[in-house]
Amino acid sequence: MNEIITYFIIGFFAQIIDGALGMAYGIISMSVLLGVGIPPMVASASVHTAEVVTTGISGLSHALFKNIDYRLFRRLVVPGVIGSIIGSFLLTKIPPNAIKPFIACYLFLMGAIILYKAFREMHWMEKIKNLINKALKREKSSHGLARIIPLGLTGGFCDAVGGGGWGAIIASSLLAQDGEDPHYTIGSTNAVEFMVTLSSSITFFSVIGFSHWRIVLGLLLGGAIAAPLAAVAIRKIPPKIVMIFAGTLITLISIYNIVKQFLL
């Protein structure tokens, strides 16, 4: 029972932050689970299983509100799923102590990206980058297979191994270059995320079983209760404050995990 309460608290606070930002549930949960000693493959499997419900609801909502570009969805879903399966399977085969430092470094990078987004401003360098992106664009929607396939493979692989990061990798990359309305890019990315999360979960189940159900139950219950509270919190707390808190939390826990690996 005490175990479930611990995971409940993790899921609760991760969902509060995710609900306020629209991202970071998996990254925060994965960071904390590693910090309390959960093996990487069990932590990632638990996070992805808990996310199947939330990503499914999110994808369905975007479909109902017609926020999905199905051309982008079709091109992104196959490499995304393949990358997630490869990443999940690889994570189950590498010794935990060997992969932990790399995952901690990846999570540290994700935390740094969140902090960057919190502090960045639209200065002249960013304007120049946007102009270059527009100048190099050859079609209205830069959804060419040459770019989507490696992007989907990378996003799915990193998400499976690191327990999260699909949105940070895929949505950020597409929003920086695409010519379509942002809501189509975000909606399509979220819809594909359900398939990526589901494929990761199935791969983990087939290899390691479902002995980690207590972690999944705690994360699910905590996230379910926190979801409506997050909707209230987003009206009261400035998103920039939440991003700074989340980015700082992830980077500090990741540093702790990296240091712990070298000291032990």
Q: What is the pLDDT of residues 234-251, one digit of tens each?
A: 677 787 888 888 889 999
Q: Angle, to 10 degrees, between the axis of helix 70-93 and the axis of helix 182-208?
A: 30
Q: pLDDT-derived band of residue 139, with 50, 70 and 90 as boundaries?
A: very low
In DSSP notation, 189-244 reads HHHHHHHHHHHHHHHHHHHHTTTTHHHHHHHHHHHHHHHHHHHHHHHHS-HHHHHH
Q: What are the structure tokens assigned to 188, written together?
A: 């399509």
> Contact at 8 Å (CB) between 206 and 92?
no
pLDDT at 114: 85
What pLDDT digit, counting tens, does each position of 169-218 carry?
A: 887 788 766 455 677 888 899 899 999 999 999 999 999 998 889 999 99
Q: pLDDT: is 155 or 135 the higher one?
A: 155
244 CB contacts (<8 Å, ≥6 apart)? Answer: 115, 118, 119
What is the pTM (predicted TM-score) of this model?
A: 0.83
Q: pLDDT-derived band of residue 140, with 50, 70 and 90 as boundaries?
A: very low
pLDDT at 144: 62
Q: Give dist(CA 205, CA 193) in Å, integer.
A: 18
Q: pLDDT: is 250 or 147 the higher one?
A: 250
pLDDT at 7: 95
pLDDT at 179: 53
Model confidence at 264: pLDDT above 80: no
Q: Mean pLDDT, to the nearest integer, of 137-146? A: 53
185 CB contacts (<8 Å, ≥6 apart)? Answer: 69, 72, 171, 174, 175, 178
What pLDDT digit, counting tens, does each position of 21-39 carry?
A: 767 888 999 999 999 999 9
Q: Give dist(CA 12, CA 233) in Å, integer.
A: 13
What pLDDT digit, counting tens, does each position of 74-110 carry?
A: 999 999 999 999 999 999 999 988 898 899 999 999 9
Q: Give dist(CA 176, CA 70) in Å, integer.
A: 20
What pLDDT digit, counting tens, does each position of 6-24 carry?
A: 999 999 998 888 877 767 8
Q: pLDDT: is 17 or 120 the higher one?
A: 17
> Contact at 8 Å (CB) between 63 and 133?
no
